[in-house]
Amino acid sequence: MPGRACSRLVPRLCGAVRQQLMPGHSTAIATSAFLHKQVFSTEADASQKVEESMDFPGGKVPFTKKLLMLGGPRSTTPPMSCYRTADSTGTDIAGADVPHQINHALATKMYSTMAALQTVDTVFYEAQRQGRFSFFMTSAGEEATAVGSAAALTLEDTVFTQYREHGVMMWRGYTIQQMAHQCYGNILGHGKGRQMPIHYGSKELNFHTISSPLATQLPHAVGAAYALKLEGKQACVGVYFGEGAASEGDFHAAVNFASTLSAPVLFICRNNGWAISTPSTEQYRGDGIAGRGPSYGIASIRVDGGDARAVYNATAEARKIAVANSCPVLIEAMSYRSGHHSTSDDSSRYRTADEMNRWRARDPVMRFQNLLLANDWWDPQQEKDLRLSLRKEVLKALEAAQKEPKAPLSDMFTDVYKEMPWHLREQMKEAMAHVKAHPEACPSDIPVR
């Protein structure tokens, strides 16, 4: 209405005003030449001009004479709906949007990857318990979130993760052997044994090294996406994080930067209900993570993280939007952390067996298997063979990793800088001399050179 009124009153104003109808819209900010101007309606009495909106530097906002609060504990607005294409048993939901169908080959690859992920999770967890390496984290219950989303990304898309997304890496080609090497911290492992187990990375497969601090990777992803945009690449960045990490300041900084600077990032949140022992009810009070997106100007979707096909479709659509518009998209995949936080955690201390059993009954891998079975793309013999061969492969990988030495002592001092500065050369000499004087001081699997 203000636009129409204006076109009768002031034709020149009209164009600029219409461009400013959406507060916060980027073209409105770019073209705004007005500061603190008021738009008048001609329908009012000539002696009482009714001001209908105000042009703030951030865009036009309409006035109201009602004193009404939006949101908060008394709000009746329902939470954002959760998109799914199959129910908890894996049975198709009639009429569900599935713009990206999954064919036989893709479904088999997705399922096999999820099965491999489950095997790694089970056997590596046991290996840690046996003292073969110091630490491990599983992703039980979240296989569909990882593999479903990864399947919709390409190797040209750069990926940043938190620590529970090795399904994404495995989809991209990170081998079980590489994972074993990294967990053993041997000379062939990513990072040369400098970091704890599960801190994977791969330049070749375009996923950046994991670090323990939470949410720090979110602003990185925005900078990386900006770089891709500058190069004119038809690619995006996918960055993964949990609902707990989304409480960190880096989340706010990242989504705000991505939106303001127009960076093609997919923010993929695994809302698995728990941050170690802290349930989501103690993590946030608003409408989860997806609910925050629109307030940053970001297109957002909530999806059933246990429905691999839904996750795949949501991610594929999000990628299309991000690449075409050079803008961020936020995906919140709802699921459940079926396992403990890590090998240092015993979640029976803070949650009920009943809750865990209820969620295990909705196992995402089983749900996806039902999709394959319903299409006659899978049978029990294939299942048996796959699980057996995977277990063999995982055990073999652990054996091979155990045999490799660690990186030599000098690698404690390399890569701190591109070229080793004089003071590290001196310290390296000191360390070598100390170990030569006291050979028992150096772990036997670290070559002294």
Question: Encoding tokens for residue 126?
Answer: 């046991």
Minimum CB–partner distance for residue 319 and other proteins (Å): 18
DSSP string, 259-294: HHTT--EEEEEEE-SEETTEEGGGT-SSSTTGGGGG
Q: Of 190-198, 300-308, 342-350, 398-406, which part binds other proteins (CB under 8 A)?
A: 190-198
Contacts of 336 (CB under 8 A, 6+ apart): 141, 142, 272, 273, 306, 359, 362
Site map (CB under 8 A) of other proteins, residues 307-336, x = contact: ------------------------------
139 binds other proteins (CB under 8 A): no
Question: Encoding tokens for residue 336?
Answer: 């459940």
230 binds other proteins (CB under 8 A): yes
Measured between alpha carbons, how far is 126 from 130 in angstroms, rounded to an integer?
A: 6
Site map (CB under 8 A) of other proteins, residues 149-178, x = contact: ---------x--------------------
417 binds other proteins (CB under 8 A): yes
Residue of the chain from 211, 247, 347, 370 that contacts other proteins (CB under 8 A): 211
CB 379 within 8 A of CB 128: no
216 binds other proteins (CB under 8 A): yes
Is-catalytic flag, 212?
yes
* Token pair 């979707």 in the structure block, residue: 301
Is-catalytic flag, 355?
no
β-pairing, 265-271 vs 329-334, is parallel
**Interior/surface letters 23-43, b for 16+ CB within 10 angstroms, e for the rest:** bbbeebeeebebeebebbbee
Is-catalytic flag, 341?
yes
**Sequence-ordered alpha helix ranges (H) in 151-295:** 166-172, 176-184, 217-231, 249-260
Site map (CB under 8 A) of other proteins, residues 242-281, x = contact: -------xx-xxx-xx--xx--------------------
Catalytic member of 190, 199, 340, 341: 341
Q: Which residues pair with 299 in a beta bridge?
A: 329
Minimum CB–partner distance for residue 239 and other proteins (Å): 9
Residue of the chain from 6, 102, 147, 222 that contacts other proteins (CB under 8 A): 222
> Residue 270: phi, psi to the nearest 5?
-90, 100
Measured between alpha carbons, how far is 449 from 443 in angstroms, rounded to an integer?
A: 13
Q: How remote is the C-alpha of 165 from its chain's centroid?
A: 8
Q: Which H helix or E strand runs over 239?
A: strand 237-242
Measured between alpha carbons, how far is 275 from 286 in angstroms, rounded to an integer?
A: 17
β-pairing, 158-160 vs 329-334, is unpaired
Residue of the chain from 213, 279, 294, 405 that contacts other proteins (CB under 8 A): 213
Minimum CB–partner distance for residue 130 and other proteins (Å): 26
292 binds other proteins (CB under 8 A): no
Beta strands across the sheet bearing 59-62: 38-40, 51-56, 59-62
Catalytic member of 43, 51, 126, 282: 126
221 binds other proteins (CB under 8 A): yes
Beta carbon nearer to other proteins, 263 or 303 = 263
Minimum CB–partner distance for residue 359 and other proteins (Å): 33
Residue of the chain from 218, 266, 301, 372 that contacts other proteins (CB under 8 A): 218
Q: Which H helix or E strand runs over 266?
A: strand 265-271
Residue of the chain from 107, 179, 228, 371 that contacts other proteins (CB under 8 A): 228
> Residue 164: phi, psi to the nearest 5?
-120, 35
Catalytic member of 75, 81, 212, 389: 212
232 binds other proteins (CB under 8 A): no
Minimum CB–partner distance for residue 191 and other proteins (Å): 5
65 binds other proteins (CB under 8 A): no
Residue of the chain from 59, 197, 201, 264 that contacts other proteins (CB under 8 A): 201
3-state secondary structure of 160: strand
Minimum CB–partner distance for residue 241 and other proteins (Å): 13
> Residue 259: phi, psi to the nearest 5?
-70, -45
190 binds other proteins (CB under 8 A): yes
Number of residues that bind other proteins (CB under 8 A): 45
Minimum CB–partner distance for residue 32 and other proteins (Å): 15
Is-catalytic flag, 342?
yes
In this structure, the number of other CB atoms found within 10 A of the CB of residue 81 comes to: 10
Beta carbon nearer to other proteins, 260 or 278 = 260
Residues lying near other proteins in the complex (CB under 8 A) are found at 158, 190-192, 194-195, 199, 201-203, 208-209, 211, 213, 216, 218-228, 230, 249-250, 252-254, 256-257, 260-261, 414-419, 421-423
- Please list the active-site residues: 126, 212, 341-342
